[in-house]
Structure 1
Amino acid sequence: MPSGSVHNLINTGAFLLIAGSTAYAKQQGYVDPSIPEILAFTGTFFVGTFMMSPDLDLAEQNVSSKKAWGIFGFIWVPYGKMFSHRGLSHTWIVGPLTRLVYLTILLAALYYLAILILPDLKSRIRFENVPRTLEFWQPYILGYYVSQWLHLIADGISPDMRALSRTFKKKKR
């Protein structure tokens, strides 16, 4: 099982391969990502690698993803207590989603707390300008999920095979 720093090196190396392959494919005319799409993919890939790795299910320990949050690393301790290591948080689709939902809930709570303290804040923050099309969000989603999947591959976890095998074992009985 790779350590956090080894996971980070694996992802960084894979990113260099992805970037080089994309640059070559763009030069050959196979793909034409825009600069904002490249930045979105890159940003979420590195956030997923360094700050929101599947190992946050060990957040009560001193894992590198928790350390990347600095003084705010403590916010991941409840997440680590909710999920057992290499359990649901280490699945291919739901695992990364659990971290996004957890963070969204924390940010929403912080937002509503801020509104209680500073009522004028609500009129200054507008969410209607946030793009709602999947096409806009694709590079963000792809960057985040690819970083998560590389971590799982390095851990030897194939795409949700544990869940599939449990399903088939139940059907055979």
Structure 2
Amino acid sequence: MPSGRVHNLVNIGAYSLLSAVALIGSRQELFTLTPAQALTFTLGFAVGTFLLSPDLDLAEGRVDSKRHWGLLGVLWVPYGMLFSHRGLSHTWLLGPLTRLAYLALMVALVVGLLSYVAPSVTLPELPQPISLKVLAPLILGYYLSQWLHLIADGVRPDHGVRRSYRKLRRR
């Protein structure tokens, strides 16, 4: 299993190659890529690489992604306790969703606490509605960064399915 640094280097290399292909392809007018789409893809990819790595299931230890959160890295310790390493958090579809759901829960708790403690504080709102043209590249960038991590770990796309099937057969 590669270290966090190797995972980051793999993702940075893949992103560099993908960026070059996107630039050449859009300049050759093979497809259209808006600056907003490129930016949201990059944001999703960077968040998935540096902040929401699948290795956050090891958050009770020293994990690069947890360290990138700074003092807020302590918020990921319960996530590491909830999910066993290379378990559900290392599946191709549900794993990335577990981190997004956990993050949404943490944000909801902080917002709820802030609104209770300081009801006069106004919090920023998300723009409504969020366009699919913006949301799709964000999600694609996030999931691609996660999948590159799993590929580097040698986790196959059917990892979660195979594991669940083996557990059912044992019963």
Amino acid in the other structure paired with 1:51: L
Instruction: Say whether residues 1:55 and 2:55 are aligned partners.
Output: yes
Offset, 1:131: 2.6
Identity %: 49
Instruction: Say whether residues 1:148 and 2:115 are aligned partners.
Output: no
1:107-146 map, 5 Å: 107-121=107-121, 124-125=122-123, 127=125, 129-146=127-144
Offset, 1:126: 6.3
Gaps of 5+ in 2: none
Gaps of 5+ in 1: none
Please tell me whether the aligned partners of residues 79 and 102 of structure 2 are also in contact (alpha carbons under 8 angstroms): yes
- Among 155, 158, 161, the alignment partner of 1:157 is 155
Task: Determine the structure 2 residue equivalent to 1:86.
Answer: 86
How far, CA to CA, are the matches of 1:156 and 1:8 in structure 2?
A: 16
How far, CA to CA, are the matches of 2:124 and 2:68 in structure 1?
A: 29
Task: Determine the structure 1 residue equivalent to 2:77.
Answer: 77
How far, CA to CA, are the matches of 2:113 and 2:163 in structure 1?
A: 43
Task: Determine the structure 2 residue equivalent to 1:27.
Answer: 27
- The alignment's TM-score, normalised by the length of structure 1, stands at 0.90
Query: Which segment is superposed worse, 13-22 or 162-171?
Result: 162-171
Offset, 1:58: 0.2
Amino acid in the other structure paired with 1:34: T
